[in-house]
Amino acid sequence: MTTGSGVHPACALFAVHGLLDAARTVSEAIPSLRERANLGLGPPAAGAAHGSTAGRRAEGEGIVVAVRGGPDGGVVSLSGEAHRSGMDLRGIADTALVRAGGEGRLVFQDRSGPVALAVDGRGTNTAVLRKALVARGAVFAGDELAELVVHLMAQSEQRTLMNRLLDALHRLEGGFALALLTADLLVLARDPCGFRPLCLGRRGAGWVAASEAGVLRASGVTYEREVGAGEVVVLEGASAESLHPFARSAPRPCAAEWLGATGGDARVFGVDVLGLREQVGAALALTFPARCDAVVPLPGSEALGAGFAATLGARFLPALVVGGGQVRASGSVRGLRCALLVNLLATGERTRRAVAALRMAGASEVHVRLGAMPLGGACLYGVAAPVEENLLARRFEIPRMRSWLDADSLAHLERAALLTAMGRSSGDCCDGCFSGDYPVVPLDPQVPLFPKGASV
């Protein structure tokens, strides 16, 4: 499920409601949640600063669990020991909320009692909102979006918890998939544009929610549907109520999720990314074929490479291994002209090392083909990516980029061709990190999601 692109969701959400075997369901989902949030995938990149979630945490860390339980029936967070010692969740209640990745608390105090709140995403007006909240007496412990939502709820004049939550979400702009757990309810919500994914499944009589359907499959849950863009789902006991409290907007699912930010076995925004990446690889082969003896995917880019190889009638050869920040190639490429297929190009460091590894293993030529335009900007809505000044597209045009990578040729689909290959148009997805066309213009000056020195 590893993407190999260095671009991944900032965190992953998982929630269960009304399951007698909730502990088993959560435990089965943990490995997929770790993968989606890029946890436990090796040591940090050289120069990575404190605060990066990329490859920094050990196995089990970065997973936070809250359950409905305790002596008063409220919401409690499992101890750190519980989610570090082999994920021993035997004491879990029938309703739980899990966050993989991200920072900060999971359980907060609302005027109605303790609540657990987790958000995957990023606001585009958070600095404006924080300034107004601080002026009214709010004290922030960190900069997590969940804490901002809690403060907005605390200062809302609405009486019920649900109305305070909706009041808070009406004020928030940007991308979010949200899960809130109280002593009585599990609430799920997505932003009106649907930038961040969230889906629902069933296991027996219970409900399970996850950031994407691959996590549901991994925990033996039957996929039911997506939580719609702008939809709020309230789960209480055996009932499930769907609300649509926001003004309708055209859904703008994230193209980076499809192309490389999530694993190849994922289903996000109703699309199986395996088939979509094969389609893009086929279109790339038709538009920019390479005279090659073998198609070699960068690990994580196998589907793209398979589509490229099948269209050219070339040999598909997974000859690269990535681990410990290093890229190694097998001797099977000796004397071969290789096409190196890469889902997404950010800083280019890993691709450059892959080219060098192929040459050291004896490849006679290395032609690089990208699944999309090189990333030219940060995601404003919740996908973690390197800081803009480190993006290769900000440093070089394509000819110098090819030279820096030491590739014999370098090509990618232009925006219109890429959208056609995905079966989309510029108005029904978000490709701002490639094109600079961001659907929701930020009110805040944006802060990079990754520290300087992150290497992808």
C-alpha 119/C-alpha 114 separation (Å) is 17
Contact 236, 185 (CB under 8 A): yes
Residue 264 inside a domain? The answer is no
pLDDT of residue 83: 47
Query: Collapsing DSSP states into helix, strand and coil, what is residue 163?
Result: helix
User: Does residue 275 share a domain with residue 203?
Assistant: no
pLDDT of residue 237: 84
User: Does residue 301 share a domain with residue 247?
Assistant: no
Q: Please report, for the domain that includes residue 61, its CATH number.
A: 3.60.20.10
Query: Collapsing DSSP states into helix, strand and coil, what is residue 165?
Result: helix
pLDDT of residue 131: 95
Tally of structural domains, the chain: 2
* Strand stretches in 335-408, DSSP E: 337-342, 365-370, 383-384
User: Does residue 239 share a domain with residue 90?
Assistant: yes
Distances, alpha carbon 223 to alpha carbons 25, 110, 186, 200, 448, in Å: 14, 32, 18, 6, 34
Q: Which domain holds residue 118?
A: 8-251
User: Does residue 168 share a domain with residue 236?
Assistant: yes
pLDDT of residue 229: 97
Residues lower than pLDDT 50 in the chain: 1-2, 41-60, 81-86, 448-456
Residue 23 inside a domain? The answer is yes
Distances, alpha carbon 119 to alpha carbons 261, 271, 273, in Å: 18, 22, 23
User: Does residue 220 share a domain with residue 306?
Assistant: no
User: Does residue 289 share a domain with residue 376?
Assistant: yes
User: Does residue 281 share a domain with residue 246?
Assistant: no
User: Does residue 276 share a domain with residue 242?
Assistant: no
Residue 167 inside a domain? The answer is yes
Residue 1 inside a domain? The answer is no
Residue 454 inside a domain? The answer is no
Last residue of a domain, one of 251, 282, 317: 251
C-alpha 249/C-alpha 323 separation (Å) is 42
Query: Collapsing DSSP states into helix, strand and coil, what is residue 277?
Result: helix
**What per-residue string of b and e applies to 206-226 under the rule 16 or more CB within 10 Å gives b?**
bbbbbbbbbbbbbbebebeeb
What is the rounded radius of gyration, in angstroms, for the C-alpha atoms of the chain?
A: 22
- Closest C-alpha among 78, 102, 74 to residue 26: 78
Residue 212 inside a domain? The answer is yes
User: Does residue 230 share a domain with residue 100?
Assistant: yes
Residue 50 inside a domain? The answer is yes
pLDDT of residue 452: 39
Query: Collapsing DSSP states into helix, strand and coil, what is residue 91?
Result: coil
Distances, alpha carbon 93 to alpha carbons 19, 73, 110, 195, 428, in Å: 8, 10, 21, 31, 40
What is the DSSP track for 316-342? Answer: E---EEEETTEEEE-GGGTT-EEEEEE
Q: Please report, for the domain that includes residue 291, its CATH number.
A: 3.40.50.2020
pLDDT of residue 53: 36
DSSP 198: -
Last residue of a domain, one of 219, 251, 283: 251
